[in-house]
Amino acid sequence: MKNILVIGSTGQIGSELTRVLRARYGGSHVVAGYIVGAEPKGDLLEGGPAAIADVTDGQHIADVVREYKIDTIYNLAALLSVVAESRPRLAWKIGIDGLWKVLEVAREHQCAVFTPSSIGSFGLDTPHDNTPQDTIQRPRTIYGISKVTTELLSDYYHLKYGVDTRSVRFPGIISYMTPPGGGTTDYAVDIYYSAVRGQKFQCPIAKGTLMDMMYMPDALKAAIHIMEADGSRLVHHNGFNVASMSFDPETIFQAIKRHCPEFEMEYQVDPLRQSIADSWPNKMDDSCARREWDWSPDYDLESMTVDMLKNLRARLL
């Protein structure tokens, strides 16, 4: 990776990934791609070049790729699972029509492409425990359908045109910097905000619902390491399971309560979020990622909780 374009650089993952890539590859080598209405600000704007890169406009992306001699594209434009259910056509337009445009530009300009998939690419028929790398994927949400299609289309461009497409299936991502918007796993971020603000948390996900989660530094590490990996070792290319922790609401509540003894939580289960969560794995098997590109996470629930609380207290109090 010499010159990198991050599409969706002001979003939940994109804003942090852009900063980390700039620290690693040099500010001038990482272009913060954005859409009108979501312009980069502060260090994201000042730390390197920024350009409009709207996935619904292939010409824009091609222009940016040419101007900055881009060889790697991180395509992070997507709607999260709950929002996608209320705007299915838009979810498809951004997630799949947009991906097609990005892949076409990549094919013409010989770029490598990372487009994340998610635990949302699985469904009720998938084995929920130790979910294998290669297994049944029959999701019933538009988010899940678009994520499976993302994996398949990315593989197609790799096999048919030789485009170096690589990706992981992200768990729910937890961060203290940019808040997520409209995801099923967002409760695991919101709960920390309530704890630090001294508020009782209303949990929209039922007790006992296990889902894979990951602290943002590990998610960024996965996104970078897979693109830097030796291609000759890869058996899979798109949709690597990556795991670091799996918990239910009660377990994360107890982990926080050990540091905030006054903290309280009550359940107010949201039927849509719950039905999506019920269709996702309890815990993925990520042995292929460990074997093929040495994936290994740094954080578990306890170390993440300590870091989240420390950083949120510094920001909010």
Please tell me whether residue 119 binds ligand AKB under the rule CB under 6 A.
yes
Cα separation values, 65 from 56, 59, 121, Å: 15, 10, 29
**Residue 14 or 183 having the CB closest to ligand AKB:** 183
- Nearest Cα to 171, choosing from 181, 185, 182? 185
Please tell me whether residue 118 binds ligand AKB under the rule CB under 6 A.
yes
Catalytic residue set = 143
Give the bridge partners for 112, in sequence order. Answer: 72
Q: How far is the CB of 83 from ligand AKB (least distance, A)?
A: 8
**Residue 81 or 150 having the CB closest to ligand AKB:** 81
Q: How far is the CB of 66 from ligand AKB (least distance, A)?
A: 32
C-alpha 46/C-alpha 27 separation (Å) is: 9
C-alpha 16/C-alpha 53 separation (Å) is: 17
- Nearest Cα to 124, choosing from 145, 142, 138? 138
Q: Which two tokens stand for residue 280?
A: 């996702």
Q: How far is the CB of 159 from ligand AKB (least distance, A)?
A: 25
Size of the site for ligand AKB (CB under 6 A): 10
**Residue 3 or 167 having the CB closest to ligand AKB:** 167
Binding mask 63-92 for ligand AKB (x = CB under 6 A): -----------------xx-----------
Only segment of 44-52, 103-111, 112-120, 253-261 that touches ligand AKB (CB under 6 A) = 112-120
- The helix/strand/coil state of 43 is helix
Cα separation values, 251 from 198, 246, 278, 302, 305, Å: 19, 9, 17, 11, 12
Q: Which two tokens stand for residue 149?
A: 């299609």
Please tell me whether residue 165 binds ligand AKB under the rule CB under 6 A.
no
**Residue 65 or 211 having the CB closest to ligand AKB:** 211
Cα separation values, 179 from 11, 25, 187, 311, 312, Å: 9, 25, 11, 14, 12
Q: How far is the CB of 183 from ligand AKB (least distance, A)?
A: 3
- The helix/strand/coil state of 310 is helix
Among 167, 185, 209, 279, binds ligand AKB (CB under 6 A): 185
* Radius of gyration, alpha carbons of the chain: 19
Give the bridge partners for 311, in sequence order. Answer: none
**Residue 185 or 194 having the CB closest to ligand AKB:** 185
Only segment of 115-123, 232-240, 292-300, 308-316 that touches ligand AKB (CB under 6 A) = 115-123
Only segment of 182-190, 224-232, 253-261, 293-301 that touches ligand AKB (CB under 6 A) = 182-190
Strand 50-52 to strand 72-75: parallel, antiparallel, or no bridges (unpaired)? unpaired
Strand 211-215 to strand 245-247: parallel, antiparallel, or no bridges (unpaired)? antiparallel
Please tell me whether residue 172 binds ligand AKB under the rule CB under 6 A.
yes
Q: Which two tokens stand for residue 114?
A: 């990372």
**Residue 164 or 186 having the CB closest to ligand AKB:** 186
Footprint on this chain of ligand AKB (rule: CB under 6 A): 80-81, 118-120, 170, 172, 183-185
